[in-house]
Amino acid sequence: MLAAKLNVCIETYALGHDELKPLTNKTHDPFGGWGATMVDALSTLLVMNLEDELKSVIDHVQRIDFNVDEDVSVFESIIRYLGGFISAYDLSDQKYPILLTQAQRLANVLLPAFDTPSGLPTHLWNPARNMSFYQDTLIAEAGTVQLELMMLSQFTQNPIYMQKAQAITDLLDNMDYGHGMYIRGLYPTSLDVEKGRFRDDTTTFGAMGDSAFEYFLKQYLLTDGKIPQYGRMYLDSIRSMKQHMLRQIPGYDMLLLPPYDTFRQKAENSMDHLTCFVPGMLAMGSKTFNEPEDMDIAKGLLETCVFMYRTTKTGLSPENWYISEIERYNPITYNKTRAELERARDWWYDDGEIPTNHR
């Protein structure tokens, strides 16, 4: 059933396009028009052993010309296309050399976007004109290209891609008060690529910040812990997050991770839906660095994310969730609340009733 639907979508409506609009079957090309969703799905096609669909996408990949005269997102191009090519190339045991060839072609087209005074890539890049008018980027964008570039260097034995990635990591690692970074490990969202400093004061684990923190951990794991810098940067961020950003909701075993003004040291009363990746990251980090408290925090944040879904009529989470009453995270009072609620749940179970939020 899924294979048939994929075939209809790819062959009939979306071949060579980035996105398909499900209500109209019309296409949308916000990512260069190179077939973003198809390339993203290469690994899925391999895992599901859908050889006919895979062949169709591989045939398309061979025809992609990256030299387009339009502004393309450096970040999206790397995580969707470069990541899609590299992961499928690796997953297929290097069966399709065209995937590595196209990955390298794309990377070479984008490399000039990294040639800024700071080494930070521009937000957008025009491959045909070899230029960009944009002098800023986001921490989520600058901090979420490293894995793909590192793997490309490994497969091609060309160090230039790794060097570009490492230059960004080193810049972030050396940020201080003079660069607009007021709390160690808490990176604000907007970066000036010319000056190599932050443009704003707000740190978030939601949109515009999210994956940069995750990539510190993944870089550490990808290199088998042989580059301690990555692990240290991850731990710096998580420890500062727990100390400054994390909030608890009185009377509930739920935690909140709101945007935080690092200059005024003030948290908002909200949480972005994208922040719901954090429980998985913390669980992975907890096991990697033997930090049991982080696993407890992961569970508390996950409770909040589940609650965000279960309290709407549609069962869909809102993009943002606002809470009227929150307080700074305190592991003593939070764990006391958790223990009390667990005892209450045990009583409910003993009475033969399943609590609503556990059904």
Q: Which residues pair with 202 in a beta bridge?
A: 261
Reference 340, options 253, 227, 258, 274; nearest CA is 253
10 Å Cβ neighbour count for 208?
A: 20
Q: Is the dihedral of CA 215, 197, 235, 294 positive or negative?
A: negative
Q: Which residues pair with 171 in a beta bridge?
A: none
CA dist., res. 166 & res. 172, Å (int): 10
DSSP assignment of 210-248? HHHHHHHHHHHHHTTT--HHHHHHHHHHHHHIIIII-EE
CA dist., res. 184 & res. 173, Å (int): 9
Q: Which residues pair with 73 in a beta bridge?
A: 124
CA dist., res. 193 & res. 182, Å (int): 19
148 neighbors 79 (Cβ within 8 angstroms)? yes
Residue type for 80, please?
A: R
Among the listed residues 51, 293, 319, 327, the single catalytic one is: 319
List phi, psi (to 5°) of 258.
Answer: -85, 165
Tokens of 317: 């989470």
Q: Is the dihedral of CA 320, 325, 329, 332 positive or negative?
A: negative
CA dist., res. 142 & res. 168, Å (int): 7
Residue partners of 174: CB distance under 8 A and separation at least 6:
none
Tokens of 144: 């979420």
**Is-catalytic flag, 319?**
yes
H or E element that contains 74? helix 74-76
10 Å Cβ neighbour count for 350?
A: 8
Tokens of 86: 């590299």
Reference 82, options 35, 38, 45, 39; nearest CA is 39
Active-site residue list: 319
